[in-house]
Homo-oligomer: A and B are copies of this chain.
Amino acid sequence: MAIRYTSSNCAVLLEDLRVRSPLVQCITNAVVTNFTANVLLSVGAAPAMVDIPEEAGQFASVASGVLINLGTPRHEQRAAMLEAAAAANAAETPWVLDPVAIGSLTVRTELAHQLVGLRPRIIRGNASEILALAGVGTGGRGVDSTNNPLDALEAARHLAASFSSTVAVSGAVDLLVGPDGEATGMANGHSLLTRVTGGGCALGAVMAAFASLTDDPLLAATAATGVYTLAAEQAAARAQGPGSFAVEFLDRLAGITTDDVVAGLNLRPVGTLDSIQ
């Protein structure tokens, strides 16, 4: 099967993001709020962490995109998440669900199943989380993925079809699956991204930013993943370790050019991914 998008399609969307600076509401976990906001600011979006009941729904109806991340789902946040998802749907605002560490932890797992029923535009997770959300497996060791993204391909297609969502599975290679089951791989990124907390979570916020720019959520998820993982490669080339990597990564998200994206994205048919694991 051919690849639906080119790196040029992704580059155009990055340019659009920088012109329009979408306002992204993040209801996300306590560990990564700061990093997520800085990632959004660096890439050219405007973050707003409005996550309390009453306000979360008010804001979702005016935001460009919404991220709902289940990393530390306190009582008030849980109510805010449901409110924001409903308001986003009512306003046709795209929203992204990141079912962090679901599986054996009961509160977030039940909430994730409730939220996915509200049909997020994009679902983003590692293989363990996608398997758990599809009802296969019991999740990984907290936020670590114990699975190869390709192991979650069928689960991703099942979720995509069930909820008319685009599903992004993060890992050593990234897998992007559209509502029609169309799947593409991307072989960019760097392992240092797993040594910085929020490396995956902030990508969900960037997906929400890109999803606000186009009616095609698969293109949005692909472009977001491409820009993000390519900036990680550029940052890793300059870093001395996880600390300097995080700093360089923010610099590169701000500095990455559309030419970099056109030249650097490594989009791959799914059938060729096994060989580069």
Contact = CB atoms under 8 A, between A and B. Distances in A.
A198 B34 contact: yes
B108 A55 contact: yes
Copy total for this chain: 3
A145 B273 CA distance: 46
B249 A246 contact: no
Nearest to A141: B23
A71 B47 CA distance: 12
Given A30-B30, A49-B30, A242 B246 contact: no
Nearest to A255: B241
Contact of A48 (B30, B33, B73, B101): B101
Contact of A242 (B38, B58, B73, B244): B38
B195 A254 contact: yes
A107 B54 contact: yes
Given A41-B197, A242-B41, A243-B249, A31 B34 contact: yes
A74 interface: yes
Contacts of A196: 38, 41
B241 A55 contact: no
B247 A105 contact: no
B106 A55 contact: yes
A254 B253 CA distance: 23
Nearest first, the 7 A-B pairs at minimum CB distance are: A243-B250, A241-B251, A48-B142, A37-B197, A243-B247, A243-B251, A241-B254
